[in-house]
Amino acid sequence: MIPVRDDNPTHSVPFVTILLVVANVLVFIYELSLKSEHGVNAFFANFALIPAEIAYEPSPEAVRSVFTSMFLHGGWMHLIFNMWFLWIFGDNVEDSVGHFKFILLYLLCGVGAAVAQIASAPQSHVPMIGASGAIAGVLGAYLLLFPRARVLALFPIWICFKFIYVPAWLLLIFWFLLQLFSGWSTSGGVHSGGVAFWAHVGGFVAGVLLIPLFKKRYVRLFQ
C-alpha cells in the first residue's frame, strides 16, 4: 500500500516539515552537483553513518554523522518516497507537538533508528544514509495520535492498482510489520547493504515511545 494523502486537517502551518523537505532536497541537489563518483564517495565518507565507526571507533566526527546522514539520499526515488511520507504524516504530528518539539522529536527518532541499525550490524562498513529512520519515528507518533484517520492509498490488486481509503492504524502497522519481517530475513554482516530495515524499526519504536512525552498537554492520544 502506497499512501497518497490523509483526511486529517491541521490547525497550523507545518513550518518545520516544510523546512526539512527543503533541506533534504537542497542537500541532494548538492550531491548531484558533485558529478564525479569520487566526489560523491568522498562526501558520503565524511557525512554518512558507518556503523563500525560508531561501534568500535567512536569520534566526534562519527557521532556527527548520526545527524548528517539523515539528510543524505542515494537517488531520486529514495528522496521522493521519504519526502512524500514526511509530507503526508509530518504536518499532523508537528501540529500536535509544536514546531520546536517536532524537530527535536524528529532528530531523536533518527538517533533511535541509527542505534537500532548499528546494533543489528555493528561490524558493517556500508554507509547508512537517508531520512527514513527519522520519518519512521513520525509514522510511529502518527499511529498513536491518529489511528482512526483515513488514508487514501494505492493498493495493488493482481496486475492493477486501485485507490482505497484505509484507517491509518492498518496502513502503519502493516508498514511496520513489513520492516520487521524484512529485517529478520536479511543478514547484518560486514558488507550487508540495501535498505536499512532495522533503522526503520528503531525509528518507529522511538516515535511510539516518545510521542506521549512530546505531545501538547491538551492533545489526546488515539484520536
Give the C-alpha separation, 48 to 31, whole Å.
12
Out of 87-91, 99-103, 139-143, 154-158, least confident range: 154-158
- Of the candidates 132, 139, 130, 135, the one whose C-alpha atom is nearest the C-alpha of residue 65 is 130
Q: Which residues, listed in sequence order, are joined to residue 163 by a DSSP beta bridge?
A: 154
- Check pLDDT > 70 for residue 66: yes
Better-predicted residue by pLDDT, 92 or 1: 92
Percent of the chain with pLDDT over 90: 71
Give the per-residue pLDDT at 189: 45
Give the per-residue pLDDT at 81: 94
- Check pLDDT > 70 for residue 67: yes
- Check pLDDT > 90 for residue 95: yes
Give the per-residue pLDDT at 38: 86
Give the C-alpha separation, 109 to 135, whole Å.
8
Q: What is the pLDDT of residues 159-217, one digit of tens each?
A: 778 899 999 999 999 999 999 998 888 754 444 456 789 999 999 999 999 999 999 99
Residues 5-30 have a mean pLDDT of: 95
Give the per-residue pLDDT at 193: 53
Residue 181 contacts by C-beta under 8 Å, 6 or more apart in sequence? none
- Check pLDDT > 50 for residue 109: yes
Residue burial 97-120, b: 16+ Cβ < 10 Å; e: rest: bbbebbbebbebbbbbbbbbbbeb
Residue 185 phi, psi (nearest 5): -85, -5
Better-predicted residue by pLDDT, 117 or 187: 117
- For each of the domains in the chain, give its residue range(s) and CATH number, in order of start: 10-149+169-214 (1.20.1540.10)
